[in-house]
Structure 1
Amino acid sequence: MPCFRCGARQTDPVRGVSPWRRGVRDDRQVLVCPACQCAHDWTADLDDCAGCGSTALICRLGEVECRDCGHVREARPGDGQGGRLACAPRADAPGLAEEVEAALHRVLRRGPAG
């Protein structure tokens, strides 16, 4: 899943706590890269909890839950995407197929397809 602000993709994780942050925007789970965390007030673009106002939300199984106060609400249905719940990750991110192909070529040590 890319950063929702700049589109950067995570690289292979290193041990320890990830510098990427999670949040919920328009009832979708999103990630924020470290560069966007420094350059923008990234929490202003996220949904907040109706109970306590926190932006520490997670989206799972059609629900949005606040990690601070525990308030849970049902996620709103997606916007005409075949009935998918809003929390479902997007598989149609631009460039994903190309990135997967390049990764497979690196791992399998193949030359360019052709």
Structure 2
Amino acid sequence: MPCYLCGARQNDPVRGTHPWKRGVRHERQVLICPDCQLTQDWKADLDRCGRCRSTFLLSRLGEIECHSCGEVRPQTSPQPVPSSAHLDAVLTNEVEQALSRVLGGLSRLPGPRRAHR
């Protein structure tokens, strides 16, 4: 499962501490990579416990459990998560559009000046 913020994929974890964090967003389990933990307010988008407002939630088998206070509630119908193929297509389209804008801007620049003979 990739990081829900940047799409980075985790490598096989080594024994010991696990640098990736888990959370629940739109009632689906998500992972947050170590880089996004440092550069973004990653907890702001996560679901919160209805009782204690903690983001330390786990989504499993039709229920959401809070690891802070122990509350367990049924999972409502989660929003669909886009497939990686869909995300790749969106990203490719955005890159192509950005490249087109840059190249279009370059074509409007004046060309090199030629020396008169």
Normalising by the residue count of structure 1, what TM-score does the alignment of the two structures yield?
Answer: 0.70
Contact 2:26 2:78 in 1 (8 A): no
| Alignment counterpart, residue 84 of structure 2, candidates 89, 93, 103 | 93
Deviations 1:19-64 (A, max 9, x none): 0000000000000000000001101110000000000000001100
Contact 2:47 2:55 in 1 (8 A): yes
Gaps of 5+ in 2: 87-117
Root-mean-square deviation (CA, aligned residues, Å) is 1.8
Distance 1:78 1:29 in 2: 10
Normalising by the residue count of structure 2, what TM-score does the alignment of the two structures yield?
Answer: 0.68
Q: Which amino acid aligns with 2:83?
A: D
Match of 2:14 in 1: 14
Percent identical: 56
Return the index of the structure with the highest Cα Rg.
Answer: 2
Which has the larger share of helix? 2
Distance 1:53 1:39, change over 3 A: same
